[in-house]
Amino acid sequence: MEQENRDYKYFMQDTGSIYLGAKLSYAEILQDEMVNFKYKSIVEHYIFKDTEPDTTLESHFYYMTREQFSFRTYEQLKAKVKICILEEKRPLFGKKKTGYATKVMPLGAFASMNLAQKKAKGVVIQELALSKLGLMTFSV
């Protein structure tokens, strides 16, 4: 595992969601024994229809379009993307300041941003969150 990406390669879960670090590749996800078997099956059967195993989650979601089969699959899983985005902040007094803010966006809203908008706003993808309910109701 690359030293600089270690903090962004993780799998966690709580009672309602599964969280995956954005620097994980699909090949690493499939090899990780901690990752949910059903999610691995979904990756193998549905995500690999338009994505290569060495693709990272960060890269896949950054370039994902609403037309892709994997987009529709992740929509069924109620996926959300945690991102850092450049925003203008308005303090009570003084000048407007520009800085990064962390947001969690539903996949549909994130995929609606075109590539030029993502680049202009300096979007950095940190994490993918999947609903356990969405995962449970998904039939493979």
- Rounded Cα–Cα distance for residues 18 and 94 (Å): 41
pLDDT of residue 90: 76
- Rounded Cα–Cα distance for residues 110 and 5 (Å): 23
- Rounded Cα–Cα distance for residues 134 and 87 (Å): 31
- Rounded Cα–Cα distance for residues 103 and 135 (Å): 22
Where would I find the H helices in the chain? 26-31, 37-45, 57-63, 69-76, 107-112, 115-120, 132-137
pLDDT of residue 1: 44
Two structure tokens written together for 5: 């990406």
- Rounded Cα–Cα distance for residues 66 and 32 (Å): 28
pLDDT of residue 5: 66
pLDDT digits (tens, 9 = 90+) for 34-74: 999 999 999 999 999 999 999 999 999 999 999 999 999 99
pLDDT digits (tens, 9 = 90+) for 2-36: 555 677 899 999 999 999 999 999 999 999 999 99
- Rounded Cα–Cα distance for residues 131 and 120 (Å): 30
pLDDT of residue 4: 59
pLDDT of residue 99: 87
Instruction: Enumerate domains of the chain plus CATH numbers.
Output: 3-83+104-112+126-137 (3.30.465)
Please compute Rg for the chain using Cα positions.
16
pLDDT of 82 > 90? The answer is yes
- Rounded Cα–Cα distance for residues 53 and 39 (Å): 14
pLDDT digits (tens, 9 = 90+) for 94-133: 778 888 899 999 999 999 999 999 999 999 999 999 999 9
pLDDT of residue 7: 74
